[in-house]
Structure 1
């Protein structure tokens, strides 16, 4: 009987050890996961320096990881409340979990060294596109922009997917034909950076990896 009790005690001890909390390990820096395709400027297929202005059509990175944004709230270019809700939710769910630090700037700055990084507005977009992103204040000689403009057509075009797409351009993400290696414009790995984006297409792990590697 004593041997049986001893054996039972050993089993109980083993069970306790099995579920014991492991000692904590010191914090270590984790390298960002590699992206399967490089689609953030510059790539081997796209190395155009940033140019300011809507007509120039270059894709530029924002100038640092601390990204402030403002949504137009008055006049013809204002975002309706539903549009604002979509942008806020999209940034919180897709971009804030990356190495970018996303904050809303209720008192935007339009000049100087600390301009608000992304300005969202509603209005006419050239050609047949529903949205556009362009640099308003380029940093000469590199791929960065101090202030980016995102403009999307009215009438319900401020969808999560399109907002994700144009924000992607504002932080330097590219279409598939400018990625390395180049891929199809609707390649599944592009997430919301597909040329034709679905209503609520998310950013996707490839784009998040590229953002974390750069920023």
Structure 2
């Protein structure tokens, strides 16, 4: 017997439903536009960060209906853009990472998301698999607990790596929402 998802935290939800647009850093995320999740890690990331991102993508998203493909170069134009481009730059102190849609393909789908991890690790430590899972979760449409329907807390570990705690798994609820979408 298949158990129903604990909550709907797949964009759009009853509590997070903006129109997907071509955005700038911080403008929000949407669903990715297909089930093949292509990933590129730019040179601004350290080799350790690149490895962490690859391991998180394969270990956590590989067992879903998504097909994870790590690319050796990024595609930034056209209809077959790399789905998720990761990079590092200095963000405000204490901010681990941020995800946004750079190229909307419809009102709820995005052809290319950017994920930026903070180069300043002061007080937050280096990027770990939970951080990579969390930001990648946004790039496929997963929200935080307060944007889910029904709402959950930011630190609710039933949302796996979408919790604000470091949870080192995708979690059953997120997997179920991904598989129902893709």
- TM-score normalised by the chain length of structure 2: 0.90
> Which residue is 2:153 aligned to?
184
1:106-185 → structure 2 map (5 Å cutoff)? 106-126=72-92, 128-140=94-106, 142-154=107-119, 155=121, 156-185=125-154
> Which residue is 1:210 aligned to?
177
Distance 1:88 1:33 in 2: 30
Contact 2:41–2:86 (Cα < 8 Å) also in 1: yes
Residues 127 and 83 of structure 1: CA distance in aligned 2, closer, same or farther (over 3 Å): closer
Contact 1:109–1:116 (Cα < 8 Å) also in 2: yes
Contact 2:40–2:71 (Cα < 8 Å) also in 1: yes
Residues 189 and 112 of structure 1: CA distance in aligned 2, closer, same or farther (over 3 Å): same
Are 1:88 and 2:54 an aligned pair? yes
Gaps of 5+ in 1: 1-30
Distance 1:36 1:135 in 2: 26
Distance 1:137 1:32 in 2: 35
Contact 1:96–1:102 (Cα < 8 Å) also in 2: yes
SS where residue 87 of structure 1 aligns? helix
Distance 1:56 1:95 in 2: 23
- Spell out, residue by residue over 1:94-151, the C-alpha distance to the aligned partner (whole angstroms, 9 max, x if none): 00110000001213210010001100111122464210001111124x2111000011
Residues 33 and 124 of structure 1: CA distance in aligned 2, closer, same or farther (over 3 Å): farther
Distance 1:49 1:43 in 2: 12
Contact 2:31–2:139 (Cα < 8 Å) also in 1: yes
Provide the aligned C-alpha RMSD in A.
1.8
Residues 103 and 177 of structure 1: CA distance in aligned 2, closer, same or farther (over 3 Å): same
Alignment partner of 2:23 out of 33, 39, 53: 53
> Which residue is 1:197 aligned to?
165
Gaps of 5+ in 2: none
- Radius of gyration: which is bigger? 1
> Which residue is 1:21 aligned to?
none
Contact 1:165–1:197 (Cα < 8 Å) also in 2: no
